[in-house]
């Protein structure tokens, strides 16, 4: 870690050192479609799973946002300097795509036909309770300040390591842990206030 004049807790990120990733990125920049497929195959599951959680279990929306994240990544590949791992960089792009989606005004689509009502079955109540808890947590996470929200979603929903988050955000691992501690405290308070 080196000193950064941008302020305490900030650091200059180490360049990615994974030789395979460096080679794949060089091949991708040279137009190798196979390199793109390899990079996507290595990171898609992580990106999609994170967006799936952020989208409240809406698989179609998560898939659309994942595709948008990769489209944006390819479009801005020239600006990627390897300051973080590729998956961490794409995660940040995906997270921003999600935020843009959330901020976008919604269009209401009229429902022409009513969906058929099915027998809910014995586990419906349990599923509804789990769904409500999941929705409460999602709302609480989305209400966090931006820096804390990104850190929490990257760590727990994106399954990114503290070191990856630190590299991607240009801060120290200690600063990431501090953000996580503060975010978890705020989440506990929010969920306590929102409890039935």
Type and span of the H or E element at 77: none
Range of the domain at 180: 19-105+130-193
For the chain, how many structural domains are there in total?
1
DSSP bridge pairs for 171:
10
Q: Is residue 119, in this structure, part of any structural domain at all?
A: no
Establish if 115 belongs to a structural domain. Answer: no
- For residue 101, give the CATH number of its domain: 1.10.1740.10
Does 88 map to a domain?
Answer: yes
Query: Running DSSP on this structure, what letter comes out for residue 144?
Result: S
CA distance 116 to 4: 60
Flag whether 10 is in a domain. no
Question: What does the block give as tokens for 85?
Answer: 């791992």
Identify the CA nearest to 88 among candidates 138, 13, 23: 13
* Residue 86 near residue 43 (C-beta atoms within 8 A): yes
pLDDT by 10s per residue, the chain, length 196 = 333 333 444 444 445 557 788 899 889 888 888 999 999 999 999 999 989 988 888 999 999 999 999 999 999 988 888 888 899 999 999 999 998 888 776 554 554 555 454 544 556 555 555 556 777 888 888 889 988 988 998 888 777 889 888 888 888 999 999 999 999 999 889 888 866 6
186-191: long-range pairs with CB below 8 Å, 24+: 186/144, 186/148, 187/137, 187/140, 187/141, 187/144, 187/152, 190/140, 190/143, 191/136, 191/137, 191/140
Give the pTM: 0.61
Is 170 within the bounds of a domain?
yes
Separation between Cα atoms, residue 65 and residue 59, nearest integer Å: 10
For residue 60, tell me if it sits in a domain: yes
Task: With both helix axes pointing from N to C terminus, report the angle between 19-29 and 33-54 in degrees, rounded to the nearest 10.
Answer: 110
């Amino acid at each position: 870690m080196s000193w950064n004049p941008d302020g305490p807790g900030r650091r200059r990120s180490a360049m990615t050192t994974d030789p395979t990733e460096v080679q794949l990125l060089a091949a991708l920049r040279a137009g190798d479609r196979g390199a793109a497929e390899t990079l996507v195959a290595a990171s898609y599951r992580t990106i999609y799973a994170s967006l799936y959680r952020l989208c409240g279990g809406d698989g179609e929306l998560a898939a659309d946002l994942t595709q948008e994240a990769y489209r944006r990544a390819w479009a801005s590949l020239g600006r990627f300097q390897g300051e973080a791992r590729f998956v961490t960089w794409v995660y940040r792009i995906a997270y921003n795509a999600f935020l843009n989606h959330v901020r976008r005004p919604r269009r209401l689509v009229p429902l022409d036909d009513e969906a058929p009502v099915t027998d809910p079955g014995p586990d419906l109540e349990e599923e509804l309770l789990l769904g409500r808890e999941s929705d409460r947590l999602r709302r609480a996470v989305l209400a966090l300040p931006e820096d804390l929200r990104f850190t929490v979603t990257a760590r727990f929903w994106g399954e990114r390591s503290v070191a990856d988050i630190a590299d991607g955000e240009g801060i120290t691992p200690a600063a990431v842990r501090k953000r996580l501690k503060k975010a978890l405290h705020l989440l506990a308070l929010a969920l306590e206030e929102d409890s039935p």
